[in-house]
Structure 1
Amino acid sequence: MAIPLKQEKFREKFTSDTNLQVRVEMEDGSVQLERTASGQTGDGLSDRVYLLASVIFQNNYLEKPAAQRLVNYGKERGLSLPEAADGEMQRAAYELAFNALKYQELLEHIILDSSFYLTQPLPDDQMSLIVVMLYDFQDRKFVPRKCESSDEFIKEVRDVELHLLRFTAKLAASLARWRIKHEVVSIECMLPESVRIRQQRASSLMLYAWVNSLKSSLLEVQSELKRAGFSRVRSVGQLEGKTFCQDPHCEDILVFPAEVKTQLDLTSLLSKHKLIVQDKACCLGPNAVCPLLQETENGDLLMAGCFSGLTVSHTASLIAKKQKSTGNDKSKILVCVGERTEAQREKLQQVVNAMGCKNVKLIPASFQSLDKNDKKFRKVRVILLAPKSSLSAISNPIEFILQEDRDTELLQDLAQGSIARSKLETLVVQQKKDIDHAMQFPKIQSVIYTTFSTHAEENEEVVRAVFEQARACGESIQTSLAPFSSPLDSEDSFLLLEPTKHNNGCFMAIFTREPPQQVVDIVTEEPAEVAETKSEKTKRKRSQARLKRRETKSNSSSGSGTSSKKNSVSSPKLKESAEVLLARITSRDSQKSPKMEKSKNWSNPVVRPNHLPQETVPKVKESAKILPKTHSSGYNRSPKLEPYGKSSIWNKAVHSFPAPRDLHKPTVISLPQVDFPALFPPHAHSRRMWPHFQSLPVKVFAHKVLYTRPAGW
């Protein structure tokens, strides 16, 4: 295409390392780009693609410290992207910018070594455009592009192209010197190993597509594929040519070779939204939702994080299919879209409507701002979380970002093959906050946590941190993997899909709350409700019998005019062992307070009757001896207990010991001397502090045992 320039004529010939001879002529104010290349074509890209790629590069380039900065890109960052004519143009611009980010160090070296940066009068804010066009220029072996008459004309793009053409020989020579110095065959050899591995995997990834049950069925799609010339094979390893197979993990996903995308476009499956092309890593979460949601009647699903309209539609399709088979169509899908732009919300809604989904509702609020006690979430039983992650398990990040509507803030880290530590820590903190907030919803039964990362900090360590936090709070969390049957970790239950040459990777953990089990009273070995009813009846009968015994004793004492002897021998009933005494007190406590401690969070309820573990509570037989109601002296302490040695208030025993309302307070237990042999000499101060016990050796000795600690203990 003719390019208007200043009135001058020049002719330049050069020979590069690829034996390409380029001739640039200018006649009557125009430039004719003539080329002779050995099997090479110089089609290039359109002006709009270069401009869009330069803006993407400007927003994501690696900024060096001021002392090491040799090339200045200006001060503007966070620029708005120009509009793209279609998806293909947008994809081409992102790919070009991503490649320029990968080779930013090399491209800057070429610009400086060839003296292009110092001699060409171009402003700093056009350096991003120069870098992306230089990468495309060297990728075409420095062959000038072929401009069609229908191409859009953008002046700043054409000006930069002209300056690069003038320096073609010097730019090519600089690149050749760099390759000789580093002894590399191609510039790909300078990339980090992780980036090279991803590039190799991206070139061999399979094509995954799920069947939209709202528009068609699996049998109908397979029949139409066979009519179009496709044949079904058994496994992914047999895919070649026009073939397909069923995914081993998800029954609604079909797998194709990547080269048959054009043949699929010729069928009506994609245009009628019967078959939806999407990465497998994004399809595992929706397939895990249905079995969990099916266990709850009329339960809703809440989706939070980074979701595309395809993922939301896939989830709605699977839920609608399950509900159709069970006759229940009351479940809804609530999607948090508070952190998305208005354009992204409209795009998501358009995709959902095109797929035929009617059970999806968008919530214009962020997940962290949701009120867990809001009435609109009272039916939510499952939460699907897909927070921002490092995308280190994705081999084709550009394709994934565009398809899943992800932001481009991680392009620089993906291009360099490693994420900055500060960014990784920020992602992990947000992931933990999302899980913690999800578990605070009172009606939630399951939380599905997914990432697209290979870093243990975002996967296993996040899960273990959740377990540790729950353990510190007295909770118990369990994970499951239904309905997948993949190899699991030896200690934890989670799905880790490793990235391979056939598929991208992902991580998924499912936190489940199991339904509460029937609480059993440990002492009576009966359900708590039944035990509580029987305890009330037993309490009523014992109270009546106690009152009768008091009345009988009172009448007999008044008639005889005598009282119990202070030094009377203890009743044989007092020879009961300490273990039986402790069991009887525990039994009374359990009958008095039958309420059980239950964990309020993510586990089976923890049953803890009273304050003792189950193994230390012996069973109390019906023939067990009952504690005496009074001391041998016939006196009882006041219900309001005071420290030993200070209380001088002694009342006649008018109630049983211990008092029912003081079961959980410190009590005095008097035991016969035979159970406590005289091991320690009496203390002198005992006579002063316990005047009433002067003639009671049993009680004085019990006081010594309980409140004297020898030096050997």
Structure 2
Amino acid sequence: MVKNQNVGGHLNRSSPCKTKKTGSQSANSKDQTSLDPAGDDVPAVPADLQTIGEGQLGFPDRVYLLASVIFQNNHLEKPAAQRLVNYGKERGLPLPVVKDEEMQRTAYELAFNTLKYQELLEDIMIDSYDQMSLVAVMLYDFQDRKFLPRERCGKEELIREVRDVENYLRRCKTKLAASLARCRIKHDLLTIECILPESVKKKQERSSSLPLYAWVNTWKSSLNEVQSMLKTAGFTQVKSIGQLEGQTFCQDPHCGDVLVFPAQLRAQLYSTELLSNQKLIIQDKICSLGPNAVCSLLQEEGDVLIVGCFSGLTVSHTASLIARKHKDNCNNQPTVYVCVSDHTNAQREDLQQSVTAMGCKSMRRMNECCICLLKDKGGRD
């Protein structure tokens, strides 16, 4: 699986992060001392590789499995003459069921990082293994934690194919680390991120600076209660997005039930009870525009039909806004219909569970095509 020599032509492009000649020679000379594959020490991996969960040493098996399928469905397919690794021809594979949201987020981030460094990772692998997508995502994580063993988190599910790949990578860790170091020297990379195209680096920089949006789930809480809890936790409310700095938040000017936070507070928010109790739901603002627009346009005697691509969060958000708007009209509550004719039974069950978990309990299936949400008085101010 590990090549004994570099493959030319696949990464043959000028580095966007070239250093000065003297500095480059010095760095190369220093790195050369740790390139002997037979040595006992594993060459150090630069700190900039650590992008998922600082201090995180590995993930549960199911995270790797989900990330590998995401990678398989989205990896860059190269012409046969330039193909270094063969991932097979399958695309559009169904995603393994992972109900834990934190594990889902981790798997998507792991797959995204693997996609970013696909070309570099392929320069370390060969196409003799039939689980190359799984190898790719596990290899990225392996070098991300500096080739250290994975920490086990309690009693987790054991997936045989994941453990087989992990054991293989661990046996080859010295050669893998040496191959990575040779790639850095070959392309004169000061840091591993220098191999990324400028367009990817700009998008990554832009995404890391975008504000964090979260809407208040009025099935379980209220805007005033959430704001009060945030202030008690040490947050300060400011008047506009331009004033967001440090531990602050503000109310979105377009969606009244949406709060905005600085991007760096994501981890801190996930550690609060507001998110664990689903009183505050983190979603991109674009996901909140639709429910708020529908609510503002809905007449007293109107109903809502949701079709197409949607999530349980969007359904719950729409229903909560409408329930709050019409809470005084108990005799004529609008109804939210959800079209599920193109959903599988598993997808319908997931939708039901998601809506129920959000606190919108009065949900029943009307027929084979629609699910009907009858609002109760659960919405709060």
Fold equivalence (TM over 0.5): yes
Q: Structure 1 residues 214 and 17 mapped into 2: Cα distance closer, same or farther (>3 Å)?
A: closer
- 1: CA distance between counterparts of 2:217 and 2:330? 19
- 2: CA distance between counterparts of 1:324 and 1:177? 66
Q: Structure 1 residues 82 and 12 mapped into 2: Cα distance closer, same or farther (>3 Å)?
A: farther
Structure 2 regions of 5+ residues with no counterpart?
Answer: 1-36, 47-53, 373-381
Provide, for residues 271-293 of structure 1, a one-character-per-residue CA deviation record: whole Å limited to 9, x for no partner: 55443332211111111112322
- 2: CA distance between counterparts of 1:71 and 1:266? 40
**Residue 22 (structure 2) pairs with residue 18 (structure 1):** no
Q: Which residue of 2 aligns with 1:179?
A: 184
Residue pair 1:316, 1:359 contacting (<8 A) in 2 also: no
Residue pair 2:138, 2:166 contacting (<8 A) in 1 also: yes
Q: Which residue of 2 aligns with 1:398?
A: none
**Residue 243 (structure 2) pairs with residue 217 (structure 1):** no
Give the Å deviation of 1:134: 1.7
2:148 is paired with a residue of what secondary structure? coil
Residue pair 1:331, 1:359 contacting (<8 A) in 2 also: no
| Of 286, 294, 309, the match for 1:306 | 309
| Of 20, 37, 61, the match for 1:47 | 61
Q: Structure 1 residues 363 and 223 mapped into 2: Cα distance closer, same or farther (>3 Å)?
A: farther
**Residue 375 (structure 2) pairs with residue 349 (structure 1):** no
Q: Which residue of 2 aligns with 1:137?
A: 142
**Residue 236 (structure 2) pairs with residue 231 (structure 1):** yes
Provide, for residues 458-505 of structure 1, a one-character-per-residue CA deviation record: whole Å limited to 9, x for no partner: xxxxxxxxxxxxxxxxxxxxxxxxxxxxxxxxxxxxxxxxxxxxxxxx
Structure 1 regions of 5+ residues with no counterpart?
Answer: 1-10, 21-39, 118-122, 367-375, 377-713
Give the Å deviation of 1:315: 1.4
| Of 193, 200, 207, the match for 1:188 | 193
Q: Which residue of 1 aligns with 2:340?
A: 337
Q: Structure 1 residues 108 and 148 mapped into 2: Cα distance closer, same or farther (>3 Å)?
A: same
Q: Which runs of 4+ in 1 moved over 6 A?
A: 359-363
Give the Å deviation of 1:130: 2.0
**Residue 320 (structure 2) pairs with residue 317 (structure 1):** yes
Q: Structure 1 residues 230 and 61 mapped into 2: Cα distance closer, same or farther (>3 Å)?
A: closer
Residue pair 2:323, 2:333 contacting (<8 A) in 1 also: no
Q: Structure 1 residues 364 and 198 mapped into 2: Cα distance closer, same or farther (>3 Å)?
A: farther
- 2: CA distance between counterparts of 1:176 and 1:332? 61
TM-score, reference length from structure 2: 0.71
Q: Which residue of 2 aligns with 1:100?
A: 114
- 2: CA distance between counterparts of 1:167 and 1:189? 25
Q: Structure 1 residues 247 and 327 mapped into 2: Cα distance closer, same or farther (>3 Å)?
A: same
Identity %: 63
Give the Å deviation of 1:334: 1.9
Which stretch shows the higher mean deviation, 336-345 or 139-148? 139-148
Q: Structure 1 residues 91 and 170 mapped into 2: Cα distance closer, same or farther (>3 Å)?
A: same
| Of 119, 128, 131, the match for 1:126 | 131
- 2: CA distance between counterparts of 1:262 and 1:306? 28
Provide, for residues 416-440 of structure 1, a one-character-per-residue CA deviation record: whole Å limited to 9, x for no partner: xxxxxxxxxxxxxxxxxxxxxxxxx
Q: Structure 1 residues 127 and 221 mapped into 2: Cα distance closer, same or farther (>3 Å)?
A: closer
**Residue 88 (structure 2) pairs with residue 88 (structure 1):** no
- 2: CA distance between counterparts of 1:361 and 1:298? 22
Alignment of 1:457-606 (within 5 A): none
TM-score, reference length from structure 1: 0.41
Residue pair 1:293, 1:299 contacting (<8 A) in 2 also: yes
Matched residue type, 1:103: Y
Q: Which residue of 1 aligns with 2:285?
A: 280
Matched residue type, 1:93: A
Give the Å deviation of 1:363: 6.8
Q: Which residue of 2 aligns with 1:208?
A: 213
| Of 174, 185, 198, the match for 2:203 | 198
- 1: CA distance between counterparts of 2:124 and 2:75? 17
Give the Å deviation of 1:17: 4.5
Residue pair 1:332, 1:359 contacting (<8 A) in 2 also: no
Which stretch shows the higher mean deviation, 336-345 or 52-61? 52-61
Q: Structure 1 residues 329 and 185 mapped into 2: Cα distance closer, same or farther (>3 Å)?
A: farther
- 2: CA distance between counterparts of 1:78 and 1:166? 32
Q: Structure 1 residues 298 and 142 mapped into 2: Cα distance closer, same or farther (>3 Å)?
A: same
Q: Structure 1 residues 188 and 360 mapped into 2: Cα distance closer, same or farther (>3 Å)?
A: farther
- 2: CA distance between counterparts of 1:41 and 1:226? 29
CA RMSD of aligned residues (A): 3.6
Tell me which of the two structures has the higher relative contact order, counting C-alpha pairs closer than 8 angstroms and 6 or more residues apart.
Answer: 2
Q: Which residue of 2 aligns with 1:575?
A: none
Q: Which residue of 1 aligns with 2:172?
A: 167
Q: Structure 1 residues 149 and 323 mapped into 2: Cα distance closer, same or farther (>3 Å)?
A: closer
Q: Structure 1 residues 183 and 249 mapped into 2: Cα distance closer, same or farther (>3 Å)?
A: same
Residue pair 1:335, 1:361 contacting (<8 A) in 2 also: no
Q: Structure 1 residues 362 and 275 mapped into 2: Cα distance closer, same or farther (>3 Å)?
A: farther
Provide, for residues 20-75 of structure 1, a one-character-per-residue CA deviation record: whole Å limited to 9, x for no partner: 9xxxxxxxxxxxxxxxxxxx978223333333333333343333344443432345
- 1: CA distance between counterparts of 2:347 and 2:71? 22
**Whose radius of gyration is greater, 1 or 2?**
1
Q: Structure 1 residues 190 and 359 mapped into 2: Cα distance closer, same or farther (>3 Å)?
A: same
Q: Which residue of 1 aligns with 2:262?
A: 257
Provide, for residues 78-136 of structure 1, a one-character-per-residue CA deviation record: whole Å limited to 9, x for no partner: 54444447332333223222222222222222225xxxx5xxxxx63222222222222
Q: Which residue of 1 aligns with 2:19?
A: none
Q: Structure 1 residues 363 and 212 mapped into 2: Cα distance closer, same or farther (>3 Å)?
A: farther
Provide, for residues 562-619 of structure 1, a one-character-per-residue CA deviation record: whole Å limited to 9, x for no partner: xxxxxxxxxxxxxxxxxxxxxxxxxxxxxxxxxxxxxxxxxxxxxxxxxxxxxxxxxx
Q: Structure 1 residues 270 and 78 mapped into 2: Cα distance closer, same or farther (>3 Å)?
A: closer
